[in-house]
């Protein structure tokens, strides 16, 4: 866990990774050596997820020390997240279907045939030693190595025969980097729902090679499964109606966009900055909640240090009473498809508030090209990097 999840911590961590782990990233990234032994990966995801540090800054910092060819794999991984986000923006129904299936599974879950297996899985009682350890690690640290996430999801779906949606939800509640796009789409990818004929089946030998685990009981993992049915979702061109930051009157701090940027501060000086908690996840773990609260407190400190006064409200009702007499529209950074956007959409319709979204210019440069597979998107990385080099401003 991070004592102070702010930009300065993110930069320090990034610098340590660039100087120690980045060079060997492509060779060593698949090894999961366990908590406390993670110099082979960057652990930037909780910071990126909240936009505490921008992907653009990470990429430029890496390219200051290395040629792109030397660190291609790391750059590609950074773009995987951007790709997933763009892919989901063009297929909002994937998210809506996930949420509604999850609701169905959770309704009277005690009576469902898989209930006992589900409880065993989420309480580290499956008897599959690596899986049970990952559950403990996930709950304690709010983080799992990428390879462990793949093995975990595969065992959940194919060996324990549990619905993937419940597994994705278990991750979402516990991961401090929980992200609607990367999480939901990675679970679908493992389950074989993303690309026709492709699913991910964890192998005992692979787990033993890339982690410190050896199986007490052999042959516990499924070796063969029925091929999952791939579900096609048509791409719908999103309309990213970008609001100018210059026309803001009321600005809502959005926990998905804790942007540390002088340009933003300059713009906010003239505006009313407000905060209320518009999405409170009752199921989030203690570790995740702590990270989120700490990140927000750090951000408040940053704004206040820069003389930005924040009007904080205890709840939506208090906010509305204040706001209603003063305006009918509110600006905030686009939170992306996910629970936060669902909450803002609901708020907007219930309280008749027009929410105006400010988009990150880099996101809307990249997202429209995430229509098809990652391979096509990957071919655009050089042009995305040129864009970053040319357009230095953050917003
Ligand atoms: C089932 C499953 C669920 C996942 N859920 C999430 C999630 O909720 N949030 C999340 O940020 N990532 C998720 N990932 C992707 C990946 O596991 C994490 O981004 C990565 O482990 C974070 O650690 P790191 O920052 O040390 O990664 P590094 O290996 O150092 O990579 C650097 C950055 O690249 C991006 N990245 C790396 N691998 C991936 C990937 N496979 N997909 C998307 N982006 C990637 C992340 O932003 C990451 O911080 C999931 C993967 C799987 C298989």
Please give the average pLDDT of every successive group of 10 residues along the chain, which has 395 residues. 90 97 97 95 98 98 97 98 98 98 96 97 97 98 98 97 97 98 98 93 96 88 87 93 85 96 90 93 96 98 97 94 90 97 95 94 96 96 95 63
Q: Given the CA of residue 153, which atom of ligand 1 is nearest to it?
A: 1
Give yes or no for residue 84 CB within 6 A of ligand 1: yes
pLDDT of residue 1: 65
Q: Hey, is 256 helix, strand or coil?
A: coil
Give yes or no for residue 254 CB within 6 A of ligand 1: no
Q: Look at ligand 1, atom 22, and give the residue with the nearest C-alpha.
A: 45
Using left for φ > 0, alpha for ψ between -120 and 50, and beta otherwise, residue 393 falls in beta
pLDDT of residue 392: 65
Give yes or no for residue 257 CB within 6 A of ligand 1: no
Tokens 């493992």 found at: 190
* Residue range(s) occupied by CATH 3.40.50.620 in the chain: 245-358
Give yes or no for residue 95 CB within 6 A of ligand 1: no
Pocket test for ligand 1, best of 84, 146, 170, 339 (most atoms within 8 A of CB): 146
Q: For residues 175 and 129, what is the distance between their CA atoms, to the nearest angstrom?
A: 21
Distance 9 CA to ligand 1 centre (A): 19
pLDDT of residue 169: 98
Distance 80 CA to ligand 1 centre (A): 8
Q: Given the CA of residue 29, which atom of ligand 1 is nearest to it?
A: 29
Comparing C-alpha atoms, which of 36, 58, 39 is closest to residue 48? 58
Q: Look at ligand 1, atom 46, and give the residue with the nearest C-alpha.
A: 45
Give yes or no for residue 183 CB within 6 A of ligand 1: yes
Give yes or no for residue 143 CB within 6 A of ligand 1: no
pLDDT mean across residues, the chain: 95
Domain 7-87+367-390 has CATH 1.10.10: no
Half-sphere CA count of 42, side-chain side, radius 13 A: 31
Q: For residues 309 and 265, what is the distance between their CA atoms, to the nearest angstrom?
A: 11
pLDDT of residue 132: 97
Q: For residues 25 and 40, what is the distance between their CA atoms, to the nearest angstrom?
A: 6
Q: For residues 295 and 124, what is the distance between their CA atoms, to the nearest angstrom?
A: 29
Give yes or no for residue 153 CB within 6 A of ligand 1: yes
What's the topology of domain 245-358? Rossmann fold (3.40.50)
Distance 378 CA to ligand 1 centre (A): 16
Give yes or no for residue 252 CB within 6 A of ligand 1: no
Distance 345 CA to ligand 1 centre (A): 27
Q: For residues 228 and 209, what is the distance between their CA atoms, to the nearest angstrom?
A: 27
Instruction: Please give the distance of CA 203 from its chain centroid, rounded to a whole number.
Output: 26
Give yes or no for residue 156 CB within 6 A of ligand 1: no
Distance 40 CA to ligand 1 centre (A): 14
Give yes or no for residue 182 CB within 6 A of ligand 1: yes
pLDDT of residue 243: 85
* Residue range(s) occupied by CATH 1.25.40 in the chain: 7-87+367-390
Distance 258 CA to ligand 1 centre (A): 19
Please, are residues 81 and 359 in contact by the beta-carbon 8 Å criterion? Answer: no
Q: For residues 179 and 299, what is the distance between their CA atoms, to the nearest angstrom?
A: 19
Q: 95-210 maps to which CATH number?
A: 1.10.579.10
Q: For residues 284 and 175, what is the distance between their CA atoms, to the nearest angstrom?
A: 9
According to DSSP, the residues that pair with 355 across neighbouring strands are 330
Q: Given the CA of residue 167, which atom of ligand 1 is nearest to it?
A: 1
């Amino acid at each position: 866990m991070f004592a102070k999840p702010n930009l300065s911590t993110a930069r320090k961590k990034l610098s340590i990774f660039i100087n120690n782990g980045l060079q060997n990233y492509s060779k060593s990234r698949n090894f999961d050596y366990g908590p406390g032994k993670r110099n082979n990966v960057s652990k930037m995801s909780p910071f990126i997820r909240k936009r505490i540090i921008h992907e653009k800054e990470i990429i430029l910092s890496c390219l200051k020390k290395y040629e792109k060819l030397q660190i291609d794999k790391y750059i590609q991984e950074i773009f995987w997240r951007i790709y997933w986000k763009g892919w989901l923006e063009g297929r909002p129904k994937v998210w809506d279907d996930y949420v509604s299936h999850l609701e169905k599974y959770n309704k009277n879950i005690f009576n469902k045939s898989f209930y006992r297996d589900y409880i065993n899985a989420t309480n580290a009682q499956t008897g599959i030693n690596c899986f049970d350890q990952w559950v403990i690690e996930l709950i304690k640290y709010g983080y799992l190595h990428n390879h462990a996430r793949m093995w975990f999801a595969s065992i959940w779906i194919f060996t324990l025969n549990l619905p993937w949606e419940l597994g994705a939800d278990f991750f979402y509640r516990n991961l401090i980097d929980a992200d609607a796009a990367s999480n939901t789409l990675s679970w679908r990818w493992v389950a074989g729902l993303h690309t026709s004929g492709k699913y991910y089946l964890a192998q005992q030998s692979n787990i033993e090679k890339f982690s410190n685990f050896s199986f007490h009981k052999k042959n516990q993992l499924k070796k063969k499964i029925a091929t999952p049915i791939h579900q096609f979702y048509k791409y719908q061109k999103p309309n990213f109606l970008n609001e100018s930051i210059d026309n803001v009157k009321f600005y809502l701090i959005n926990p998905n966009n804790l942007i540390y940027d002088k340009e933003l501060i300059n713009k906010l000086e003239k505006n009313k900055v407000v905060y209320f908690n518009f999405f409170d996840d009752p199921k989030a773990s203690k570790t995740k909640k702590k990270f989120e609260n700490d990140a927000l407190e750090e951000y408040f400190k940053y704004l206040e240090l820069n003389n930005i006064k924040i009007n904080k409200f205890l709840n939506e009702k208090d906010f509305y009473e204040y706001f209603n007499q003063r305006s009918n529209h509110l600006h905030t950074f686009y939170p992306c498809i996910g629970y936060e956007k669902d909450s803002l959409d609901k708020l907007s319709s219930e309280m008749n508030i027009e929410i105006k979204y400010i988009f990150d210019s880099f996101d809307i440069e990249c997202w429209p090209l995430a229509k098809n597979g990652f391979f096509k998107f990957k071919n655009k990385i050089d042009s995305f990097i040129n864009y970053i080099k040319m357009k230095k401003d953050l917003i």
